Structure 1
Amino acid sequence: MSPAASLSTIGFDADDTLWQNEHFYRLTEQRFAALLADYAEPEQLSGRLLEAEKRNLQLYGFGIKGFTLSMIETAIELTAGRVSAATIGEILAAGREMLSHPVETLPLVRETLEQLAGSFHLVLITKGDLFDQERKLAQSGLGELFDAVEIVSDKNIATYERIFGRHGGPEHSMMVGNSLKSDIVPAIQAGSWGAYIPHDLTWVAERVEEPVGEPRFRRLGHIGELVGLVAEIAESRR
């Protein structure tokens, strides 16, 4: 498949690509560490919490609800079942606050989407809790700029083959996101372009090596560079 195949569809990740997300997880984890300071050092607690999150992904999926349940499970394990009802209540309150936190759109997102809308078929492809992702999209005010919205339980090769298959074909599509593991590598393996935009905070479970040898892989400094990349790809077809 030629890396210069024409581009008609652009898929966008949401969390930490269009708006802040991991930042609120980190703040909540700090709050969680303070609650359990008598039982574990912050680094030890983070490790135990990460183990619980990975273990529970198949049960709860991605998102704040699964994160909250994993915090409760970790608290029970670390305290050998002695965690107080008041502490569990604090953990639940922290989860509720995350679910109601205002959406903070990242710089240059709206301007970039507005420049691409109309010329390309824009698809939001996000994973996680359905209600929470719908809430964030509505609050972001970006929904009108997308031609389609796909909220999925996970992102893998089959996900992109299926979604881009409905929206022009993988070979004519690009996925834009901050996660190499979920947004970029599987999209490229499905036959699409992958535009990687690193975020200062990325969950450790989403980190893999950059596919630097792939002709359809691009790394951008920020989302504002996407318009230029799309123009470059279009020029290469002439």
Structure 2
Amino acid sequence: MTALTQLTTIGFDADDTLWQNEQFFRLTEQRFADLLGDYGDHEVIARHLLEAERRNLALYGFGIKGFTLSMIETAIEVTAGKVPASVIQQILLAGREMLHHPIETLPQVAETLERLAGRFRLVMITKGDLFDQERKLAQSGLGDFFHAIEIVSGKDAATYARLFARHGDGPEAAMMVGNSLKSDVIPALDAGAWGIFVPHDLTWALEHAEEPVEAPRFRKLASIGELPELIGRL
């Protein structure tokens, strides 16, 4: 596909593309580091936590539950097994609070989805815990804009090829919009779709990647509100 007139399907990431998410992880990480302040400064605790998350992704997947288990594992590790039960209790409480935080939709999201919903099939494609992602979507009020919702364990080129074939006319006639180069943009490009990068102020370290600036279907926007105009230009 060389002209965007053939575009039929647009995929949207959810966390930090449609609504705030990473800020709650950062706030909880700070709270966690404070709990373990006697065993290292914030940077040291955060480094141990990130390594635990990296190790556990294949076991626990993405989301708050895996993050909570990684915090518990880190607490045991940095205290050499001496972490008090009261600290474990505080970690579990922090995880529960994350699962109940109110949803804050990002600026221009609803307006953009409304402009595009009548012209294209919109599909939300997100990683994470099924129940938590469903909760956030319900609270966001954005569900009616989407033709389909796909909550997946991971995002790679095969995932996008399969989903864009299921909900559209294949990746060549599709576009993926998101804040993660690693999960949203690069694998969508590898599948043959357009990859639209909308950076967020906060991005998880494990989602960082180099911008694929040489890819002909890669575009970067300052805000999601620029998406309809971008589509009109391509």
- The TM-score by the shorter chain falls in which range? over 0.9
Tell me the SS of whatever aligns to 2:123: strand
Question: What is aligned with 2:36?
Answer: 36
The equivalences for 1:159-174 within 5 A come to: 159-167=159-167, 168-174=169-175
- After TM superposition, give the deviation of residue 118 of structure 1 in Å: 1.2
Amino acid in the other structure paired with 2:181: L
Provide Cα deviations, 1:21-56, integer angstroms capped at 9, x if missing partner: 000000000000000000011001111000000000
User: What's the offset of the Cα at 1:59?
Assistant: 0.4
Runs of 4+ in 1 over 2 A off after TM superposition: 1-5
C-alpha contact 2:33 2:41 (8 A) present in aligned 1: yes
1:3 Cα offset (Å): 6.2
Root-mean-square deviation over aligned CA pairs: 0.9
Q: Residue 6 of structure 1: CA displacement?
A: 1.6
Aligned mates of 2:202, 2:208 — CA distance in 1: 11
Is this contact kept in 1: 2:175–2:196, CA < 8 A? yes
Partner of residue 206, structure 1:
207
The residue correspondences of 1:80-119 to structure 2 (distance < 5 A) are 80-119=80-119
**Aligned mates of 2:116, 2:229 — CA distance in 1:** 11
Partner of 2:23: 23
Structure 2: how far apart are the matches of 1:174 and 1:68?
A: 33
- In structure 1, the partner of 2:228 is 227
2:192 is aligned to 191
Alpha-carbon distance between aligned partners in 2 of 1:49 and 1:12, rounded to the nearest angstrom: 29
Residue 232 of structure 1: how far off its partner (Å):
1.3
Aligned residue type for 2:40: A
1:5 Cα deviation after fit: 6.6
Structure 1 residue matching 2:118: 3-state secondary structure: coil
Q: Do 1:3 and 1:216's aligned partners in 2 also have CA atoms closer than 8 Å? A: no
Partner of 2:216: 215
SS in 1 for 2:73: helix
Asked whether the equivalents of residues 5 and 171 of structure 1 are also in contact (C-alpha less than 8 Å), the reply is: no
Alignment size in residue pairs: 233
Do the aligned partners of 2:109 and 2:224 also contact (CA within 8 Å) in 1?
yes
Tell me which amino acid in the other structure corresponds to 2:225: G
Query: Who is 1:77 aligned against?
Result: 77
Cα offset, 1:2, TM superposition = 3.4
SS of residue paired to 2:38: coil
Amino acid aligned to 1:129: D
For structure 1, the 5+ residue unaligned runs are 234-238
How many Å separate the matches in 2 of 1:5 and 1:121? 14
Q: Percent identity?
A: 69
Any idea what the Cα deviations from partners look like across 1:67-93, whole Å, max 9, x if unmatched? 000000000000011001100000000
